[in-house]
Amino acid sequence: MPTTTSPAAARQLSDEELLTAAQQHDELAFAELMRRNESSSMKLALSILRDRQDAEDEVQNSYLNAWKYVANFRGGAKFSTWMSRIVTNQCLMRLRKGKRASFLYLDEGPGGDVATIELPDLCPSPEAQLGGKDSIAALHGEIRKLPPLLRNVLVLRDLNELPIDDVAKRLGITIVAAKSRLQRARVELRRRLEGHGQDMLPA
């Protein structure tokens, strides 16, 4: 079993060795794993929350959850992927609590009807949340893959729930252009989600 008697010793170990040690309750090994994932975790949290203090808080909460459940990690995916999913879920829970993203608008029909995807309540256990297909992570992943021109308007209107005129001002475009761009973004997101199966789409 690898031993980490100091932070310097931990830095000499591979991710796999650090994970093994962390699962044996080695706090120094776990701290080094978190250090290696800190930059990507912060970037991910900021992309969801758009606020540095909120992002820092939820990254720290994610680390606490990861430490609590790291012994249950079975290596079905890379540790960095597992960590990213915990950060994503933690940030989305914060959005739900703030009532800023209880749902995502997807597509407006000819009569103005709006289809939505509910963001489901998350289980207390990260291992339970992450054991299998993580639809919330997939949803956010598809949003991140949208071209910036479409992603920005979708995030401002449908995640941050800003009025359309505020969205237009922030993007430096007209309200008509903002509405048109938003419609294109919703249609494109719906098209991308179809590849994840019917469980990702509204009834």
Class of domain 1-100: mainly alpha
pLDDT above 90 coverage of the chain, percent? 18
Alpha-helical (H) ranges within the chain are: 7-11, 15-22, 27-49, 52-69, 79-97, 126-130, 135-145, 148-154, 164-171, 175-193
pLDDT in tens, 107-149: 333 333 334 444 444 444 444 444 334 556 677 778 888 888 8
Q: Is 101-203 assigned to CATH 2.20.140.10? A: no
Band the pLDDT of 48: cuts 50, 70, 90: confident
Helix orientation angle between 52-69 and 79-97, rounded to the nearest 10 degrees: 130
**Domain limits, CATH 1.10.10.10, in the chain:** 101-203
Phi then psi for residue 81, to 5 deg, are -65, -45
**Domain limits, CATH 1.10.1740.10, in the chain:** 1-100
Give pLDDT, residue 104: 44
Band the pLDDT of 60: cuts 50, 70, 90: very high
Burial class (CB in 10 A: 0-12, 13-18, 19+), 62: buried
Winning range, highest mean pLDDT, from 34-43, 97-106, 130-139: 34-43
Give pLDDT, residue 2: 58
Give pLDDT, residue 136: 66
What is the rounded CA–CA span in Å between residue 162 and residue 168?
10
